[in-house]
A and B are shown apart, each in its own frame.
Chain A
Amino acid sequence: MVVPILKQGPYLIATIPTALTDADLQGLRDGLVSQVGRCRSRGVVVDITALDVMDSFAVRTLRDVAHLTRLRGAETVIVGVQPEVAFSMVELGLTLEDVNTALDLEEGLALLDKKTKRIGKEGEARGP
Chain B
Amino acid sequence: MRAHRSQARDEPSRPPSAHPRTGRRVAESRAGPPAGASTGVLLRELVAHLRQGRTQLRDEWVQRIIEARLLTAMSRDEIFAEATSVYDNYLDALETGTIEALQAYARSLSERIIPRGVETHEVVGIVLLLRDVLARSLFAKYQADFQMLNRVLDAYEPAANRIAITVAVGFVQERERVIREQQEAIGELSTPVLPVRERLLILPIIGLIDAQRARQLTEQLLRSVRANRAKVVVIDITGVPAMDSNVANHLVRTVDASRLLGAMVIVTGLSPEIAQTLVKLGLDLSKMNTVGDLQGGIEEAERLLGYRVVSLPEEKS
Contact = CB atoms under 8 A, between A and B. Distances in A.
Interface of A: 78-79, 81, 83-87, 89-91, 95-97, 101-104, 107-108, 111
Given A86-B257, A87-B253, A103-B229, A79 B222 contact: no
Interface in B251-309: 253-254, 256-263, 287
A107 B229 contact: yes
Nearest to A96: B260
B151 interface: no
A90 B253 contact: yes
A111 B261 CA distance: 13
B201 to A, nearest CB: 12
A90 B257 contact: yes
B225 A83 contact: yes
A69 B285 CA distance: 29
Contacts of A79: 262
A95 B223 CA distance: 18
B265 to A, nearest CB: 12
Contacts of B287: 97
Interface in B216-256: 218-219, 222-223, 225-226, 229, 231, 253-254, 256
Given A83-B222, A103-B226, A90 B262 contact: no
B223 A83 contact: yes
**Secondary structure class of chain B's binding surface, majority of residues:** helix
Size bracket, chain B contacts: 10 to 19
Interface of B: 218-219, 222-223, 225-226, 229, 231, 253-254, 256-263, 287
B260 A81 contact: yes
Given A83-B222, A86-B258, 6 more contacts: A84-B222, A87-B218, A96-B260, A101-B261, A104-B229, A107-B231
Contact of A89 (B218, B226, B260, B263): B260
Contacts of A84: 222
A103 B263 contact: yes
B261 A81 contact: yes
B249 to A, nearest CB: 10
B257 A83 contact: yes
Contacts of B218: 87
Contacts of A95: 256, 259-260
A107 B226 CA distance: 12
Contacts of B258: 86
Nearest to A111: B262
Nearest to A88: B257
B256 A103 contact: no
A96 B223 CA distance: 20
A82 B150 CA distance: 68
Given A83-B226, A103-B225, A103-B226, A90 B261 contact: no
Contacts of A81: 260-262
